[in-house]
Amino acid sequence: MENTFFDESFLERPVNLDEAKKELINLKQRLEKEKDSLRIIEINLDIGRVSRVLNLLEDAENSLLCAHEEAKKYKYADIFFSSAKELGILYCIQKRYTKSDDYLSKCVKISSKAKQYKDQLAKVFLYLAISKKDQRQSSYATEYTQNAIELSIEMGKLDLLEVCKRFLHSI
């Protein structure tokens, strides 16, 4: 799901709610018909991501856990990373900080060895910062936000950069 924005509470929301709902229905229909195991895992990842943005958190968790476990089983590194990131974000939203921090830290560790995930790290650091702020660990929240800002600049992610700057002022 590409068309999202961060609301005043730093939650990712769809720009167009109706389009996001239609996308979720379409994904679920595709999942029912799909036979290829890789495509099933990819669709579950997409269902989890869209469900999270629509605040359907239980559905999101079920789909993301399925994608994550299957990606691990079949050694699909890209989906494993993306599902870990999405689970970390989801658990942060649910205020399940230990799980959130575990998944997001796993993403940081993976990306230190596999540079192809660097473009996704700014969002990982932002959610680590949100988690740490909520846990009243402001020094970590500031550090992670600064990492997110640096990566947003480096990767040219100007929308995310503005969100990170706004979050930094809230710490």
Report if residue 74 sits inside a domain: yes
- Rounded to whole angstroms, what are the CA distances from 23 to 41, 45, 47? 17, 13, 9
pLDDT tens digits in sequence order for the chain, 171 residues long = 679 999 999 999 999 999 999 999 999 999 999 999 999 999 999 999 999 999 999 999 999 999 999 999 999 999 999 999 999 999 999 999 999 999 999 999 999 998 899 999 999 999 999 999 999 999 999 999 999 999 999 999 999 999 999 999 999
CA separation for the pair 91, 146 (Å, rounded): 22
- Identify whether residues 152 and 78 lie together within a single domain: no
pTM of the model: 0.96
CA separation for the pair 153, 51 (Å, rounded): 28
- Identify whether residues 123 and 157 lie together within a single domain: yes
How many domains, the chain?
2
- Identify whether residues 90 and 17 lie together within a single domain: yes
H or E element: which one contains 12? Answer: strand 12-14
Angle at 125 between CA 120 and CA 129, to 5 degrees: 155
- Identify whether residues 84 and 139 lie together within a single domain: no
Domain that holds residue 144: 117-170
